[in-house]
Amino acid sequence: MFIDYYKALGLDKNASQAQIKSAYRKLARKYHPDLNPDDRDAKKNFQLINEANEVLSDPEKRAKYDQYGKDWRHAEEYQHAEQSTRQQYASGGSGRRGNFTGAGNNTEFSDFFESLFGEFRGTSHGRKVKFRGEDYNADLHLSLRDVYQSRKQELEINGKKIRITIPAGVENEQTIKITGMGSQGINGGPNGDLYIKFVIDNDTSFKRLKNDLYKTIDIDLYTAILGGETIIDSMDGKIRIKVKPGTQTGSRVKLKGKGFPVYKSDNEFGDLIITFNVKVPENISAEEKEIFTKLAEIHRKRQEK
């Protein structure tokens, strides 16, 4: 079935790359699965506009699509057969008889070539020519918490449901290939592949860099000066950590193995790096102000010694 990618994006064939980009972004927001849960039509439209954008935003793919339509992925085979046919007729070789003149009659040649290529793909020389199926590309939106542990996910690709296991630790925009899950091959050719790109939204207070997690926490002035303990959140629960006396704003502590899981490495984790931010008390009482004044005087005298 022929899919008009221009129509899918609401454009005509003369659309600029900027117009294609703008139309795709607008429709992607409209049909995004996160905004249309349980809406099968929205999911199909989202997949369609992604497919259309993949082709039309690539000048080389777009040129093939404009010339060959639904068969654009087989453009090289068409071009090879076209060249062979031109050479055959230019040399007066045997084959189909017709009124083909080579140049100057594109319509006549196009009709003739469609007929010839249909035979070439089907029964030419007593055999069928096999073609590999098209590859599928899909974006899978997940949260950072979703990929902290391995999980099974059900996807619907062109009306077909498949289940995949997503290993813990995948990164944003990482792409995996699932062999043979693209479109069906032609004349017994191999199926295409499915390429899934992960789009990971950070729904946590952590910053992720590779396998390490970073977080800034507040501690009060008294704990910073005297030392003590504080409780922080990690990806797998709360952790009690020690604060050294005299801790300064911007100082760090590294918690080994409390970061993000390493992709496809069981029981291996990055680190969690905590940065301290010392909070100065506001609106102190008269008694507190008196105590701080005395402390400041003691500190000044000590510095003068």
- For residue range 18-46, what is the model confidence (pLDDT) as tens digits? 999 999 988 988 888 777 877 888 888 88
Question: Does pLDDT of 115 surpass 50?
Answer: no
The answer to whether 36 touches 42, Cβ cutoff 8 Å, is yes
Average pLDDT value for the chain: 81
Among 91-95, 140-144, 284-288, top mean pLDDT goes to 140-144
Q: State the pLDDT at residue 1.
A: 57
Q: Which of 78-87, 212-221, 238-247, 251-260 has the lowest mean pLDDT?
A: 78-87
- Rounded to a whole number of angstroms, the distance between the first and last alpha carbons of the chain is 90
Question: Does pLDDT of 131 surpass 90?
Answer: no
Share of the chain above pLDDT 90, in %: 37
Q: Which of 14-23, 111-120, 137-146 has the lowest mean pLDDT?
A: 111-120
Instruction: Give the residue-averaged pLDDT of 150-166.
Output: 85
Q: State the pLDDT at residue 147.
A: 93
Question: Does pLDDT of 103 surpass 50?
Answer: no
Angle between helices 40-56 and 59-68 (to 10 degrees): 100
Burial class, 183, CB count within 10 angstroms (exposed 0-12 / middle 13-18 / buried 19+): middle
Instruction: Give the residue-averaged pLDDT of 94-120.
Output: 41
271-275 contact pairs (CB < 8 A, 24+): 271/211, 271/212, 271/213, 272/206, 272/212, 272/213, 272/214, 272/215, 272/234, 273/212, 273/213, 273/214, 273/215, 274/215, 274/216, 274/217, 274/232, 274/241, 275/214, 275/215, 275/216, 275/217, 275/250, 275/251
**Tokens (6 digits) for 289:** 């102000």
Q: State the pLDDT at residue 34.
A: 74
Question: Does pLDDT of 69 surpass 80?
Answer: no
Instruction: Give the residue-averaged pLDDT of 131-155.
Output: 89
Give the confidence band of 242 by pLDDT, cuts at 50, 70, 90: very high
Higher-confidence residue: 230 or 158?
Answer: 230
Q: State the pLDDT at residue 239.
A: 93
Q: State the pLDDT at residue 86.
A: 54
**Those residues with Cβ within 8 angstroms of residue 146's Cβ, 6 or more apart along the chain or in another chain:** 166, 200
Say what the pTM is: 0.55
Question: Does pLDDT of 283 surpass 90?
Answer: no
